[in-house]
């Protein structure tokens, strides 16, 4: 359940959005220009991370369907390139991470006739698009209270109090320029060389395509999304005992030691594959029969690859961020604990500290496994 604090913050977030839209409607001189019926070169801006980029792919695909002859370039953080490599909707990937304002401007000036901002609608990004002489500019997706919502735009996304999944939030951005998607599938493509590399690595550890391979991703980006090492260990043992599963723990370099701790608590053996490249991580999940993850990017990769995925939610809200696929199973104790605070660290004290994740039992996950493997 949400506290009054979270309800008020949500209300304020949308209220500020409406206020920003009112300013756009009343004073923006760019709003009178018609949306383009054709486009040759399109620039998309998504400066956030794994989950944000993956849930923007249905909107990017809809852009390509609307303008099939257009060349679509996208600006993302350099570390996120692998998420869009091999994507047929994308012509090229641009990285701004280390560039100065003038270098950023030079890289896009006079090159595009349409720009779409998903994130971030900061003054700097908006000014760059204006000075780059991009003839039509639209954005942005729903953001926080103080985050930029786009400036100098020809179309701003219409605000709403309706709580939507982030896929739908991104689609609302392109609906502002008259684009309605034919489908809403996520688009992610593993690399064939990485697929072969991961297959060889699994074979060396006696894991074949016939095995029931379960990828467990225990570590999130935010502390408030963490579950507990002893529960992950017991869950993994139960999966081995009940389903003869082969267990692989995934993660980034910073998760290697955490995974080792979990495996030391186990009675059975498991493989620690934290620390792979993002490309190899995608391929690892592509080999899985089931993915179990806390609320973080791994669950979105699994969803985009159409893998059955069980996700553990507490501080986040699955109505906004659940894995967007048919076999998505969410464990979320909304009626039993304080949930959806959207904080990066739990602010509750004493016995109530992390109560949203404490309320998730091993049996809750095992119950969902039955549905996931049907």
How far, CA to CA in Å, does 106 sit from each of 39, 111, 128? 21, 10, 10
Both tokens assigned to 246:
């082969």
Whole-number pLDDT of residue 222: 94
If pLDDT is split at 50, 70 and 90, which confidence band does 5 have? confident
For residue 303, how many other CB atoms are within 10 A of its CB?
A: 28
Rounded distance between C-alpha atoms, residue 19 and residue 11, angstroms: 12
Whole-number pLDDT of residue 374: 83
For residue 192, count CB atoms less than 10 angstroms from its CB and return exposed for 0-12, middle for 13-18, buried for 19 or more. Answer: exposed
For residue 348, how many other CB atoms are within 10 A of its CB?
A: 16
For all residues of the chain together, what is the average pLDDT?
Answer: 96
Taking residues 132-137, report their average pLDDT: 98
Strand pairing class (246-249; 213-217)? parallel
If pLDDT is split at 50, 70 and 90, which confidence band does 2 have? low
Whole-number pLDDT of residue 3: 75
Whole-number pLDDT of residue 256: 98
Longest dimension (CA), the chain: 67
Rounded distance between C-alpha atoms, residue 159 and residue 148, angstroms: 14
State the helix-helix crossing angle for 229-243 and 362-372, rounded to 10 degrees.
Answer: 40
Query: By three-state DSSP, how is residue 211 classified?
Result: coil
Taking residues 177-189, report their average pLDDT: 96
User: What confidence tens digit (pLDDT) does each residue in 16-74 have?
Assistant: 999 999 999 999 999 999 999 999 999 999 999 999 999 999 999 999 999 999 999 99
Those residues with Cβ within 8 angstroms of residue 218's Cβ, 6 or more apart along the chain or in another chain: 226, 227, 229, 232, 249, 251, 255, 258, 259, 262, 294
Angle (nearest 5°) at CA 31 between 26 and 36: 165
Those residues with Cβ within 8 angstroms of residue 84's Cβ, 6 or more apart along the chain or in another chain: 53, 74, 76, 90, 93
Strand pairing class (114-119; 309-313)? unpaired
Residue 204 contacts residue 334 (beta carbons within 8 Å): no
Domains and CATH numbers, the chain: 4-175 (3.40.50.2000), 192-372 (3.40.50.2000)
Spatial strand order in the sheet of 92-94: 92-94, 71-75, 41-46, 114-119, 137-139, 155-156
Rounded distance between C-alpha atoms, residue 93 and residue 95, angstroms: 7
If pLDDT is split at 50, 70 and 90, which confidence band does 246 have? very high
Those residues with Cβ within 8 angstroms of residue 115's Cβ, 6 or more apart along the chain or in another chain: 42, 43, 44, 45, 129, 132, 134, 136, 137, 138, 139
Question: Tokens 């004073």 label which residue?
Answer: 27
DSSP code, position 126: H
Rounded distance between C-alpha atoms, residue 291 and residue 372, angstroms: 10
Query: By three-state DSSP, how is residue 154 classified?
Result: coil
Taking residues 231-255, report their average pLDDT: 98
Whole-number pLDDT of residue 1: 62
pTM, entire model: 0.96
How far, CA to CA in Å, does 98 sit from each of 2, 95, 102, 103, 104? 40, 8, 12, 9, 9
Whole-number pLDDT of residue 318: 97
For residue 346, how many other CB atoms are within 10 A of its CB?
A: 21
Those residues with Cβ within 8 angstroms of residue 195's Cβ, 6 or more apart along the chain or in another chain: 283, 286, 287
Q: What phi, psi does 137 have (nearest 5°)?
A: -130, 135
Query: By three-state DSSP, how is residue 127 classified?
Result: helix
Q: How much of the chain, in percent, has pLDDT values that exceed 70?
A: 99
Assign residue 94 a region: left if phi > 0, alpha if psi is -120 to 50, beta otherwise?
beta
> Rg of the chain's alpha carbons, rounded to an integer?
22
If pLDDT is split at 50, 70 and 90, which confidence band does 6 have? confident
């Amino acid at each position: 359940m949400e506290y009054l604090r979270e309800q008020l913050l949500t209300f304020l977030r949308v209220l500020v959005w409406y206020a920003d839209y009112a300013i756009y409607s009343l004073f923006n001189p760019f709003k009178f220009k018609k949306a383009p019926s054709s486009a040759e070169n399109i620039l998309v801006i998504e400066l956030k991370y794994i989950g944000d980029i993956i849930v923007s792919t249905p909107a990017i695909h809809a852009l390509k369907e609307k303008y099939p002859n257009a060349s679509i370039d996208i600006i993302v953080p350099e570390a996120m390139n692998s998420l869009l490599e091999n994507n047929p909707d994308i012509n090229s990937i641009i990285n701004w991470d280390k560039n100065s304002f003038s270098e950023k401007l030079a890289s896009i000036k006079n090159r595009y006739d349409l720009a779409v901002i998903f994130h971030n609608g900061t003054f700097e990004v908006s000014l760059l698009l204006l000075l780059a002489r991009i003839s039509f500019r639209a954005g942005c997706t729903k953001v926080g209270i103080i985050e930029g919502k786009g400036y100098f735009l020809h179309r701003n996304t219409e605000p709403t109090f309706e709580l939507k999944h982030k896929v739908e939030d991104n689609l609302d951005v392109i609906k502002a320029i008259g684009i309605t998607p034919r489908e809403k599938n996520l688009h992610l493509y593993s690399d064939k060389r990485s697929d072969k590399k991961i297959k060889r690595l699994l074979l060396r550890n006696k894991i074949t395509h016939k095995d029931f391979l379960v990828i467990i991703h225990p570590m999130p980006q935010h502390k408030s999304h963490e579950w507990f090492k002893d529960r992950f260990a017991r869950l993994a043992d139960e999966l081995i005992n009940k389903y003869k599963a082969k267990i692989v723990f995934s993660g980034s370099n910073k998760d290697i030691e955490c995974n080792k701790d979990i495996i030391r608590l186990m009675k059975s053996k498991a493989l620690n594959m934290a620390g792979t490249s993002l490309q190899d991580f995608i391929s690892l999940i592509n080999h899985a029969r089931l993915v179990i993850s806390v609320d973080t990017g791994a669950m979105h990769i699994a969803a985009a690859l159409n893998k059955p995925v069980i996700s553990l939610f507490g501080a986040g809200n699955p109505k906004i961020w659940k894995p967007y696929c048919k076999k998505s199973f969410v464990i979320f104790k909304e009626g039993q604990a304080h949930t959806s605070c959207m904080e990066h660290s739990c602010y509750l004290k004493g016995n109530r500290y992390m109560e949203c994740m404490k309320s998730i039992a091993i049996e809750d996950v095992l119950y969902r496994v039955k549905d996931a493997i049907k």
